[in-house]
Each structure stands twice: as structure tokens, then as C-alpha cells.
Amino acid sequence: MKNEPYGIGQQIQRNLLAIISLVVAISALSYNTWRNETTEVNRNLRVASFEILINLGKLQLITDYAHYDNNSEQGNPITGWGHVAMIEDLSFLMPAPFPEMAADLKQVWSDNWQNLGKDQNSVKHITNAIIAMRKTVKSQLKTIN
């Protein structure tokens, strides 16, 4: 008796269940990996967004205390610099235009913090930069799945 090798068609037919199982397993693994990566990116964006909003709120309070209340303790510009630095650091976890907006906020703060309590335009420039960044952060949060 001569053992003839099976043809490719017969081999596929005999092992079809194993082939289908392998394709399904690879597809499921690929999808799961992609979904985990997407979830992690969204989680990082969400956390960074909330931290930026918190620091923007604190910076606005410092600005208001320094300008309207002349309160050097709660309106301490050095504390403001800390919040500006944190916002700038967190912005690198975010997509464009956040790094640019953070750099703009830093420049606006740098140009105007000395005149808080003296010049209405200073508080206006700082507040406008904070408001613009808050709006953009909120828009970004709405896009996260």
C-alpha cells in the first residue's frame, strides 16, 4: 500500500476548524490590544485634562486675589508660577494645540503678573488666556470615548 500525501485542499478541509480558531484568536488578540491602548490613551487624556482644569482654576483664584483683593498670601505670584509650570508640563500629554496654549499662558503670566492689582489690562490678559484654555480642555473632554 502506498501512502499518498494529502493535497493542499484536503489538508485545509481536514484542519479547517483549527485554522478558523487560529484566525479568530489572532483577531481577538489584536482587537483587545488595540482597545487597551486606546483606553489607556483616553485615560491619560482625561486625567491630564482634569488636572489642567484644577490648576487653571487655582491660577484664576491667585490672579483674582492678587488683583482685586491685594492679598499677597492667597494671591502669591510664586504660587501662580507653580500652577503655570504644572499646566505646561501636563499639556505635553495632550494633543495640539495644548502645548502651544500652555506656552502662551506662560508668556501672558510672565508679562502680566507684576501688574496685578495695578493694571486692569493685566488681569484681563491673564483671565482671557485661562478662559481660552479652559474652553479647549472642555472641548477635548467631550471627544474622549
Cα 122 from Cα 109, distance rounded (Å) = 9
Q: What is the pLDDT of residues 43-61, one digit of tens each?
A: 999 999 999 999 999 999 9
How many Cα neighbours within 13 Å face the side chain of 25?
A: 6
Q: How many other CB atoms are there within 10 angstroms of residue 9's CB atom? A: 8
Cα 39 from Cα 45, distance rounded (Å) = 10
Give the confidence band of 2 by pLDDT, cuts at 50, 70, 90. Answer: low
Lowest mean pLDDT among 53-57, 71-75, 106-110, 131-135: 71-75
N- to C-terminal Cα separation, the chain: 65
Q: How distant is the alpha carbon of residue 72 from its chain centre? A: 32
Domain residues of the chain, as ranges?
Answer: 46-143
Cα 58 from Cα 80, distance rounded (Å) = 8
Give the predicted TM-score (pTM) of the model: 0.79
Write the CB contacts of 98 (distance below 8 Å, at least 6 apart in sequence): 52, 91, 92, 133, 136, 137, 140
Alpha helices in the chain (DSSP H): 8-14, 16-68, 77-91, 98-112, 120-143
